[in-house]
Structure 1
Amino acid sequence: MAAIAGKRARAGVIGLGYVGLPLAITIARNGFDVTGFDIDPAKITALDAHSSYIDAVPDAALKAESEAGRFHSTTDFAALASCDVIVICVPTPLTKHREPDMSYVVRTAEAIAGTLRPGQLVVLESTTWPGTTDELVRPILERGGLRSGEDFFLGFSPEREDPGNRDFETATIPKVVAGAGEAASALMQAFYGAVVKAVVPVSSNATAEAVKLTENVFRAVNIALVNELKVLYDAMGIDIWEVVEAAKTKPFGYMPFYPGPGLGGHCIPIDPFYLTWKSREFELPTRFIELAGEINASMPRHVVGRLAEALDIRLGKALSRARVLVIGLAYKKNVPDIRESPSLKLIELILERKGTVDYHDPHVAEVPRTREYMALKGRRSVPLDEETVRGYDAVLISTDHDAVDYGALARWAPLVVDTRNAFARRGIDDDTIVKA
C-alpha cells in the first residue's frame, strides 16, 4: 500500500491493444513506472519507435512517457517478476458456437503464475462471465503455493474504453473496482484512485464482472429493439429515424438508441453471450439477450436484401450483376477499429450473392487478418472520387465517417443505400437515396 501511495510501485500491463495501451500510458502519466507486455513483436517495435497504433494514444504522449523512463514495452514475460501491480488486458472472444474462449486469459494467468511473488496485486480487466477472476484465474495463480488474500492480492476492474469518443478518456471514465477480500479491495481502490478521476468500489469481483456485462446487455437489447422497429416501421412507410428524433424530445422515461446494419466492436456483439453461457449453469433462460442477439445478427442480411430490392426496382439490375461500393469498414464512425464490424459481413453476403464489391474507408487502408473473414484479407480501400463512384451501380453506407463527402456521393452515385441516416442528418435529400 505504501509503494502505491508513494508511486514507487511498478505496474505491468499485459496486452497492449485498445484497452491496455491507453491504460498503460495513463498509469505512467500519473507517475508510476510501467512495463507493457505483448506477444506481438511488431507492436513492441512500433512502441520503441514512439509510434502509436491506437488513436487514443498520440505519438507525443507515448514519446513523452517513454523518454521520461516511465514506460517501456517488451515480449519478455519474465519481467513480470519486477512488477508490483499486474493488469491483464487480453482478448476474450467467443468461439463459433458462442461460447467463451478463455485461452488468452488462461495463458496469461499461467505466465503470471510462473513469476508470482508475495505482495503482488493481480488485476483482470478483460470482459468475461461473473466468477472468472475467482473461479478461473485464482486457482491458476495459486498452483505454486501462494494464496490469494494472504500472499498476493487479486482484483477485477472492467474496462470501459470507447474508441473515438472525444469527451472521455481512460483517466476520466469512472472506474469500477473490486477485490477478493478487504485487503485486495483496499489495494484496488488505492491503485486506481491514483490514476483515474473517480473510483466506484463494489462488493466482489463477480459483481464488478456483472457490471460490465449489464452495461453491454443493456445496449445490445435496446439496439435490437430499435432495429426490429426499423424493419416494422419501414414496412408501414414510417421513417424510424424521424420517430427516434421526435421521441427523444421527451425529457424523461426515454433514451434514444439508433438502428444500423448490425453490431460491431469487441463489446456489444460478444459480451452478452458470456452471461447466456454462464446462465446454463443455473438452468435459467436469458431470452431477452438471446433474442436481441438474433435480431442484431440478422441486420446485415436485411440490409443486403434491401440493397438487392433497390437495385431491382430503381435500376432493373440483379445484385448478382451489380457493382457495389461499401462506405466504411470500421464498426463505428471516425475510428480504424474493424473488430466484429458488420461491414465485413455485408461484403461477404454480397459476394455470396455473386455481386462485385469494394470498400472505401478513410481510416482503414487494407483489410487486416481476421478470424472469420480470411478471404477478405488484403482488400484495399478504393479512392472516393467521381470517376470511381460512377463506376458502381450502388453505394452502401455502412459506417458514417465524417471525412466522407456525402453531398458528392449523392451527386455521383446512381443509387445510395443508407443504413446510418447519414444524408438526412446532413440535410441532403435526393431521389437516389434509399434508407435501410
Structure 2
Amino acid sequence: MNAQEGQTETTQVQHPLRVAIIGGGGHVGLPFGLALCDCGHTVTLVDLNEAQLDTIRSGQMPFQEINADQLLPRVLESGRLHCSTSFTALSEQDVIIVTIGTPVDEYLDPSLRAFDQVMEDVFQHCRPGQLLIIRSTVFPGVTQRLGRLVAERDLQIDVSYCPERIAQGRALLELTQLPQLVSGCTPQAAQRAASFFSDFGQEVIELSPVEAELGKLFTNSYRYINFAISNQFYMLAQRYEADFDRIYHAITYKYPRMNGFARAGFAGGPCLLKDTMQLASFNHNLLTLGQTAMAVNEGLPGFIVERLKKNHDLTGLTVGILGMGFKGNCDDPRSSLSYKLRKVLTLECRRVLCTDPFIDSSDFVSLETIQQESDILILGACHDEYRSLQTTKPLIDVFGFTTRQEP
C-alpha cells in the first residue's frame, strides 16, 4: 500500500491460496482479508457475529478503515471474499489464520479460555497439510504449547505465530509497508509462514515463537509506558502551573534525541493496557514499569477532575466531553478513557454531556448542543473535527491538539 491515504499498490501473488480468517469480521481480520483478496487469494471470513457478516456481505464496512470502503465492494465483486459463521469451512482451506482477541481476566492476567475453545474448534475441522497462523496477541509460551498439542494429536498441520502490528484504522496502508515478524513451531512451519508473507509483498523477519510473542508484547508495552512518561510529566507541569505544550515544543524542537517523546493524553484502546498487563503477569514483578504506567495512565482522568475542582465548583456545572473513541478519528470506544472520565465527572458535576462524530449513541448529543449547554469542555479524543474548534468556554486539552505547535 502507498503511504499516502487514498492510494493503494496491489501485489499479485503467483500461487493463490484458499485462506480462512477466524475473527474475520474484526478490526484485525477484516482488513487483512481484504488485502489478501486484493492480491489474488480467496478468503473466507469466519466470525460468529452474523450481523457483522451481513454488513460485510452488503458491501458496507462495519467500522472505519482507510481505503476499505472502496476495496470491500471490489473484492466482493471478484468472488474471492466469502463469509461464514461455521468452522466447517476450515477443512477446505490451505491456510487458517486466527485473529481473535485475547482478553485479560479480572486480575489482569491472560485469559486463555476463549482462545483454547477456538483452537479446539479449529482442530475439529482442520486437515493434514494446512498452515495455521496465529496473529492474536498471546502470552509467551502459548504458541509452543499449541505446537505440542498438534504433535500429540498427530494433526499434521504446521503452526506458526506471526503477530499483527498495524495501527487500527490504517491497516490497509500498513500491511504491505511494515516488516512482518514470523515464527514457527518447526523449521517447516517457519519457512511456510515466511513464504506466505513474502508472496504477499512483505519483508519478513524470522524469530523463534517466544521471541515473536515477546516482540508483539514489547511493542505495545513500550508505547504504553512511553505515554505514561509523558502523562506523568504533564501532571508535574500542571502542579507547577507550567504549560506542558510549550515545554514539549521547546525540548523537541530540532533536538533529535527527543524524537521518541510522546505527547500527553489518554492512552486507551483494546491493546496497550491489556498487552502490558499480559507481559507483567506471571513474571515475578519484573515489569514493575508496567504497573506504574497503568497507575499513571488510568489515573489521568481523575487527575484532570481534581485539577478542575481547585478552580471550579463542579456541583452546579455541566461539563462536556468532546470525543469518546479510544483515539482520534476512530469509531472504536473499547477501553476508551473518555468513559472513565465521564464516570468520574458524573460523581462531581451537575451534568455530563458527551459527543462523538464517529460513534452513534443515544446518550450523546450534537457538537452544537454540547458547546451551547456546557460550562467546561474537555477533549477526549483528537478527532479532526475538533482541531479548529472555536469556543468561548474553558477547554481542557491534555493532548495539546487544538493549540498544537509542531517542531
Which of 363, 375, 380 is matched with 1:393 structurally?
375
Q: For 1:100 and 1:424, how far apart are their aligned partners in 2?
A: 39
Which amino acid in the other structure matches residue 34 of structure 2? Answer: I
Which residue of structure 2 aligns with residue 266 of structure 1? Answer: 270
- For the pair 1:421 / 2:400, whether they are aligned, the reply is yes
Indicate if the aligned counterparts of 1:247 and 1:254 stay in contact, CA closer than 8 A: no
Q: Deviations over 1:182-223 (max 9, x none)?
A: 100110001111224322221x11110110111111111121
In structure 1, the residue matched to 2:4 is: none
What are the Cα deviations for residues 362-406 of structure 1, in whole angstroms up to 9, with x where unaligned? 11121xxxxxxxxxxx52x31122x65222211111112111364
Report the secondary structure of 1:23's partner residue. helix
Deviation at 1:139, TM superposition (A): 4.7
Q: Which residue of 1 aligns with 2:359?
A: 364
- What is the CA–CA distance in structure 2 between the aligned matches of 1:29 and 1:166, rounded to whole Å? 14
Query: Within 2, Cα distance between the matches of 1:393 and 1:166?
Result: 38
Specify which of 149, 154, 157 is matched with residue 152 of structure 1: 157
Residues 1:163 and 2:168 aligned together: yes
Could you say which residue in structure 2 is the equivalent of 1:288?
A: 289
1:302 aligns with 2:303: yes
Percentage of matched positions with identical amino acids: 25
Number of equivalent positions: 392
- Partner deviation per Cα, 1:139-160 (whole Å, 9 max, x = no partner): 55456x225xxx2100011111
Distance 1:309 1:141, change over 3 A: farther
Please name the residue that 1:229 is paired with.
Answer: 233
**Cα distance in 2 for residues equivalent to 1:50 and 1:166:** 18
Match of 2:33 in 1: 24
User: Does the 8 Å CA contact 2:245/2:404 hold for their aligned counterparts?
Assistant: no
Alignment partner, residue 64 of structure 1: 74
Provide closer, same or farther for how the CA distance between residues 71 and 273 of structure 1 changes in structure 2, counting only shifts above 3 A: same
Deviation at 1:112, TM superposition (A): 0.5
Instruction: Return the match for 1:113 from 93, 118, 123.
Output: 123
**Counterpart for residue 5 of structure 2:** none
Query: In 2, are the aligned partners of 1:177 and 1:200 still within 8 Å (CA)?
Result: yes
CA positional deviation for 1:118: 0.7
Provide the C-alpha distance between the structure 2 equivalents of 1:217 and 1:164, rounded to a whole number of angstroms.
20
1:201 corresponds to 2:206: yes
Question: Is 1:44 equivalent to 2:16 in the alignment?
Answer: no
Kindly report which structure 2 residues correspond to 1:331-370, keeping only aligned pairs within 5 A, or say none.
Answer: 331-366=326-361
Cα RMSD, aligned residues only: 2.2
Partner of 2:221: 217
- Contact conserved, 1:180 with 1:205, CA < 8 A, in 2? yes
Q: CA deviation at 1:422?
A: 2.5
TM-superposed CA distance for 1:237, in Å, is: 2.6
Distance change in 2, residues 1:177/1:217 (3 Å): same
1:297-336 matches, within 5 Å, as 297-310=298-311, 312=312, 318-336=313-331
Q: Is the 8 A contact 2:353 2:370 kept in 1?
A: no
The TM-score with structure 2 as length reference comes to 0.90
**Matching of residues 375-390 of structure 1 within 5 Å:** 378-379=362-363, 381-385=364-368, 388-390=370-372
Choose from 374, 385, 388 the match for 1:403: 385
Of the candidates 111, 129, 138, which is equivalent to residue 128 of structure 1? 138
Alignment CA distance shift 1:121-1:417 (3 Å): same
Work out whether 1:242 is the aligned partner of 2:252: no
Counterpart Cα distance in 1 of 2:324 and 2:370: 17
Q: Alpha-carbon deviation of 1:291?
A: 1.1
Question: Alpha-carbon deviations, 1:19-58, whole Å to 9, x = none?
Answer: 0001111111111111111010001111111111132252
- 2:262 aligned partner: 257
How far 1:271 sits from its partner (Å)?
0.4
Instruction: Flag the structure with more relative contact order, 1 or 2, with Cα contacts below 8 A and sequence separation at least 6.
Output: 2
Asked if the contact 1:11–1:86 (Cα under 8 Å) also holds between the matched residues in 2, the reply is yes
SS at match of 2:367: coil
Q: What is the DSSP-based 3-state SS (H/G/I as helix, E as strand, rest coil) of the residue aligned with 2:56?
A: helix
Structure 1 runs not aligned, ≥5 long: 313-317, 367-377, 428-436
Is the 1:176–1:208 Cα contact (8 Å) retained in structure 2? yes
Using the size of structure 1 for normalisation, the TM-score is 0.85
